[in-house]
Amino acid sequence: MSRTRAAVLGSPIEHSLSPVLHRAAYRELGLDDWTYDRFEIDEAALPGFVAGLGPEWAGFSLTMPLKRAVIPLLDEISDTAAAVEAVNTLVLTEDGRRVGDNTDIPGIVAALHERGVDKVPAAAVLGAGATASSALAALARVCTGEITAYVRSEARADEMRRWGERLGADVRTADWSRAADALRAPLVIATTPAGATDELAAAVPGDPGALFDVLYDPWPTALAAAWSGRGGTLLGGLDLLVHQAVLQVERMTGRTPAPLAAMRAAGERALTAR
């Protein structure tokens, strides 16, 4: 039986949940002839890997450090991916074209919509790392007013303001020393590494809005636990992973809708087993 292949690429890659999510989708969709693997690929190895792909490949999920490195290797890039100069999805068409897309941005929007967060008058972003530009792009779709990014350096502040201008978002910046102020925003997106927001847990207000903390391991973070304990709407990294993976499955297989519930359940089981 001929098989259709897909995989996740990146470095490091061993802890990626993508195989769990995509394989769960294939089982639910009855795609018994589809496989999904993981490959440790860095920026130097990526061009050779892509050049050697055969017709059995349907697509790839891309994680760090490949989201920007893949762009010169593409035949086409979606407007969404071009807006943030980051591709997390590579689809190979039947005629051999390499098409890049970004499902992180609509994934964030879809996850927020699932929790009833459709439009907010203001928002805050904690951090300015690789995920922050996608967070800003998503907020450009759901925030009708000012977005404040809390960062640790003037260089990062300049970068976030430039992204705001590029994305058409009203972005101002504030020093990380004032990060506790962010928690009063109707929507907060935390894009920082593990432990970076622990110091803010004690500052969660009594009536918090919505927090989207993009981490999933460890989970919950100290900030997420405090937020949930005070009754705020809470989203985590698994919400982002699942919703962006749903869109990847749909783009790679052509089958809609992808099985969100089955994929989420598989991800939850995998995290519990760690």
Domains of the chain in start order, with CATH, are 4-102+239-273 (3.40.50.10860), 106-235 (3.40.50.720)
pLDDT of residue 43: 98
119 is catalytic: no
Separation of alpha carbons 265 and 242, rounded Å: 10
**pLDDT score, position 105:** 97
Q: Which helix (H) or strand (E) holds 89?
A: strand 89-92
Residue 1 has pLDDT above 70, yes or no: no
Q: What is the pLDDT at residue 90?
A: 98
- Give yes or no for a contact between 45 and 77, defined as CB atoms under 8 angstroms apart: no
pLDDT of residue 165: 94
Average pLDDT over residues 226-254: 98
At 39-78, the pLDDT tens digits run 999 999 999 999 999 999 999 999 999 999 999 999 999 9
Exposed/middle/buried for residue 8 (C-beta within 10 Å: 0-12, 13-18, 19+): buried
Q: Which DSSP symbol is given to 113?
A: H
Predicted local distance difference test score (pLDDT) of residue 274: 84
State the number of CA atoms in the 13 A half-sphere of 55 facing the CB.
Answer: 3
Can you give the pLDDT at residue 270?
A: 96
* Structure token pair of residue 43: 């920026």
Q: Which pLDDT value is given to residue 129?
A: 83
Inform me whether the pLDDT recorded for 3 exceeds 90.
no
Spatial neighbors of 229 by CB under 8 A, at least 6 apart, are 204
Give yes or no for residue 2 having a pLDDT over 80. Answer: no
Q: What average pLDDT does the segment 218-244 reach?
A: 97
Angle 260-273/237-253 helices, nearest 10 degrees?
130
pLDDT bucket at 130, cuts 50 / 70 / 90: confident
pLDDT band at 5 (very low <50, low <70, confident <90, very high): very high
**Distance between CA atoms of 81 and 167, rounded to whole angstroms?**
12
Tens of pLDDT, residues 165-214: 999 999 999 999 999 999 999 999 999 999 999 999 999 999 999 999 99
Mean pLDDT of the chain: 96
Average of per-residue pLDDT across 13-39:
97
Segments in the chain forming alpha helices (H) = 18-29, 46-51, 79-84, 104-114, 132-142, 154-167, 222-229, 237-253, 260-273
Choose the weakest-confidence range: 26-30, 246-250, 270-274. 270-274
Q: How much of the chain is helix, strand and coil, in % rounded to 5?
A: 45, 20, 35
State the pTM of this model.
Answer: 0.95
Which residue is associated with the tokens 């440790």?
40
Whole-number pLDDT of residue 160: 94
pLDDT score of 148: 98
What local confidence, expressed as pLDDT, does residue 117 receive? Answer: 98
CB 203 within 8 A of CB 183: yes
Catalytic residue of the set 5, 23, 67, 98:
67
pLDDT(12) > 70: yes
